Structure 1
Amino acid sequence: MNKKRAWIGMAGFVAGIAVLGTFLLGPGIGNVAGHSAQSLTGVVEGTEVDLSFKMGGSIEQISVAEGDEVKAGQLIATLSSEELLAKKEQAQGAYRLAQVKLEQAKKGVALTDSSSSAQVDQAQAVVASAKAQLEANKNGARQEEIAQLKAKLQAAQTAREIAATNLERMNKLLAEGAIPQVKVEEAQMQMDKAEAELKAADEQLKMAQSGARREQVDAAQAQLDQAKAAYDQAVAGRGQVGLKQLDVQSAEAGVQQAKGALEEIEAYLNNTKLTSPVDGVVKSIAVQKGELVSQGFTVATIQAKADHYVKFYVNEFALGTVKAGDTVKLYVPALNQEVEGKVATIAPAADFAVKKATQELGDRDIRAFAVKVILADANIRPGITVEWGLEGAGFGE
């Protein structure tokens, strides 16, 4: 009996120690790690895009209303663009004028090059001719020309002898009364002509044999010098082609400048149109038609349809059961249905302590890590509560 009481007393003592230990230690590591699955709660979030103009101006049109579904690229609002349209016309005119100047400069190069080439060729021909004339005057007549002049002189001498013989015969006949006086006169004329031709042939032969006179050589040299000067001037004129090419380069730069100004105006005009970059729903519109807005002012906010996600804060003891890329089951109480999600990211560092240590023996901080889960169903609207039943997610409360 005493032994039995002793065992009962010993069991009661051990049980008391266990209860006391549980009370003192509280929900320690073992309690948390062994906790059953509990639901983590989060709220669906989504990407919001604030839309604003790159320039200030007056709102000309608002093409959507709050709550409207929009597609990427759809027009949201426009700014007044009357001034920009006027500037665009000016820029277009300047661009066309620059193109005309460029064409004129190119034609000027072609004409100058063609004219200069023709002048150079002509000057070269004149120089060659002047050189040949000078050489001919310096060297005198050629042997062939002298031979021809000698033959001409011999023929003239023969003709004079024939004319002299004929004149003598006519004088005899006149003395005998066989012919009239007119026949003698005709013979005398033939004689005078033959003597003149003989004298001319003799002078030509002597001139050819003696060479050109000094004044003829000087005149030929002057003509050559003049031809060389004309050639040099023609060659120098080709330098105008280089100057004309500089005009072309300047005109090309003018075209580029005018084109850049036109493209700048067109870019400004494009900036007067505000479009949605994503598919989504118009969450809010912050302006009215006719209102003046500044650059960067938020005109509308688009709630993107894609990339709806939930952030759950998982304690450090349950974090080992989760990894990026996992497919998880989530529960939506408001819709009473399950949806799939995919773990996108796990925070590399803890965000905060989900349970703070007390002064009690054995307590310690239990920290939480943010886990981002992407929803597979894009129709789950932002703001809806979602639950995730994760093993070891509770904290022993």
Structure 2
Amino acid sequence: MAFFPKARWLVIGICALACVGVAAWGWHLYTGHTHGGLVLFGNVDIRQVDLGFRVGGRIESVLVDEGDTVAAGEPLARLDADILRQQRDQAAARLAGQKADLARLERGYRAEEVAQARAQVAAARAVAENAAINLQRVTAMRQSNAISQKELDNARAADREAAARLRSNEDQLDMLLSGYREEDVLAQRAAVAAAEAGLRRAEIDLADGVLRAPQKGVILTRAREAGAIVQPGQTVYTLTLTEPVWLRAYVDEPNLGRIRPGMPVRVAVDAAPGKTFPGTVGFISPTAEFTPKTVETREVRTALVYRLRVRAEDPENVMRQGMPVTIFVDTAAP
């Protein structure tokens, strides 16, 4: 009969020791794994990206669904590209025409045009020479009163007209020999550059007809289906970025000097009991704020804290948006 009181006290003693052990373990986690460690509490802050086409059109096909894991550069959806291809072809044809005009200007006038101009100069020179000879003859005849003054005036006018026509034809020949003006060539080169830019833009628009994942992640929302008409920038998918995983936490002012960007940390989550994940302090806010209601700290709620971001590794993909985390900072680390 005396055994039962002793056993009862033994059980009570074991339970007390267990409670003390649990309390000690909790305090050990709370104060850090190493001497001088710091424990912070925060939440997983998964980043999301709204994805849409940079050009408008009709969606031809959607290639992934909600919950699918996608890699960087993987196609997610496609637009009907008929109009985009036509615009690309028009831009290419416009560029070809501008390049042809530039080649014509840089090459100069054709040999046939130069030969024709030379022939016109030769004909004009013959007419001018004949007009000069006729003027000399008429002038001599007028001195002997063999002809009237009117005939002399007509001969002089014909001589001036023939000389002017000769100079005009010679100027035309010089222009053909020297080629087009430099200003015309420069203007055409600018037109070619503009056409090239237009073609590049059309090619970019055609490439943008395929929506691709910018980073590795998981499709959270599929907002549009095949056949829908979308405007540029309209959301088609919402993508959650799984790498890197960012954690949002807060440090109180007394411990602010114990933490700095680049320090290594260990992260514990309830979804993976007994495990910790490596991470790095990435950012500490330069301004203070009041403690958010969702954050646990050892100080009162009105204490000022500083927001910080931690970049964590999640090889097992257990961290989810808003999940509470415990961050252990070894402040003794260099």
TM-score computed with the length of structure 1 as normaliser: 0.54
1:51 deviates by 0.8
The separation in 2 between residues aligned to 1:380 and 1:266, in whole angstroms, is: 38
Which whole-Å deviations, capped at 9, do the CAs of 1:34-88 have from their partners, x for residues lacking one? x955853322223322111123222111122223232222211111222233333
Q: 1:88-99 residue pairs with structure 2 within 5 A? A: 88-99=88-99
Which residue does 1:232 correspond to in 2? Answer: 167
Which residue does 2:326 correspond to in 1? Answer: 387
Which residue does 1:345 correspond to in 2? Answer: 283
2:98–2:188 Cα contact (<8 Å) kept: yes
When residues 364 and 65 of structure 1 are mapped into structure 2, their CA distance, relative to the original with a 3 A threshold, is closer
When residues 321 and 104 of structure 1 are mapped into structure 2, their CA distance, relative to the original with a 3 A threshold, is closer
When residues 333 and 254 of structure 1 are mapped into structure 2, their CA distance, relative to the original with a 3 A threshold, is closer
Structure with the bigger RCO (C-alpha within 8 Å, sep 6+) is: 1
Which whole-Å deviations, capped at 9, do the CAs of 1:107-134 have from their partners, x for residues lacking one? 662437733784599589979x99xx9x
Q: 1:79-90 residue pairs with structure 2 within 5 A? A: 79-90=79-90
1:123–1:227 Cα contact (<8 Å) kept: no
The separation in 1 between residues aligned to 2:258 and 2:193, in whole angstroms, is: 63
1:295 deviates by 2.3
The separation in 2 between residues aligned to 1:45 and 1:116, in whole angstroms, is: 80
Is 1:311 the counterpart of 2:248 in the alignment? yes
1:309 deviates by 1.9
Which residue does 1:46 correspond to in 2? Answer: 46
TM-score computed with the length of structure 2 as normaliser: 0.63
Which residue does 2:206 correspond to in 1? Answer: 269
Runs of 5+ unmatched residues, structure 1: 1-34, 138-213, 216-220, 356-362, 393-397
The separation in 2 between residues aligned to 1:111 and 1:45, in whole angstroms, is: 74
When residues 283 and 244 of structure 1 are mapped into structure 2, their CA distance, relative to the original with a 3 A threshold, is same
Which residue does 2:62 correspond to in 1? Answer: 62
Is 1:299 the counterpart of 2:242 in the alignment? no
The separation in 2 between residues aligned to 1:259 and 1:77, in whole angstroms, is: 28
Q: Which amino acid aligns with 2:308?
A: V
Match of 1:372 among 309, 325, 329: 309
Which whole-Å deviations, capped at 9, do the CAs of 1:138-184 have from their partners, x for residues lacking one? xxxxxxxxxxxxxxxxxxxxxxxxxxxxxxxxxxxxxxxxxxxxxxx
* Equivalent position SS for 2:115: helix
The separation in 2 between residues aligned to 1:119 and 1:51, in whole angstroms, is: 69
When residues 286 and 103 of structure 1 are mapped into structure 2, their CA distance, relative to the original with a 3 A threshold, is same
When residues 97 and 353 of structure 1 are mapped into structure 2, their CA distance, relative to the original with a 3 A threshold, is closer
Select the structure that is richer in helix: 1
When residues 257 and 329 of structure 1 are mapped into structure 2, their CA distance, relative to the original with a 3 A threshold, is closer
Q: Which amino acid aligns with 1:341?
A: G
The separation in 2 between residues aligned to 1:226 and 1:262, in whole angstroms, is: 53
When residues 346 and 229 of structure 1 are mapped into structure 2, their CA distance, relative to the original with a 3 A threshold, is closer
Q: 1:66-215 residue pairs with structure 2 within 5 A? A: 66-104=66-104, 109-111=109-111, 114-115=114-115, 118=118
1:306–1:378 Cα contact (<8 Å) kept: no
Which whole-Å deviations, capped at 9, do the CAs of 1:229-270 have from their partners, x for residues lacking one? 564233221365379547766665654554444444333222
* Equivalent position SS for 1:281: strand
1:40–1:312 Cα contact (<8 Å) kept: yes
Q: Which amino acid aligns with 1:63?
A: L
Task: Calculate the aligned-residue CA RMSD, in Å.
Answer: 4.6
* Equivalent position SS for 2:215: coil
Higher-Rg member (1/2) = 1
1:116–1:237 Cα contact (<8 Å) kept: no
Select the structure that is richer in strand: 2
The separation in 1 between residues aligned to 2:270 and 2:251, in whole angstroms, is: 20
2:253–2:305 Cα contact (<8 Å) kept: yes
The separation in 2 between residues aligned to 1:56 and 1:88, in whole angstroms, is: 15
The separation in 2 between residues aligned to 1:39 and 1:273, in whole angstroms, is: 46
Which residue does 2:220 correspond to in 1? Answer: 283
Aligned residues: 276
Is 1:332 the counterpart of 2:290 in the alignment? no
The separation in 2 between residues aligned to 1:297 and 1:109, in whole angstroms, is: 53
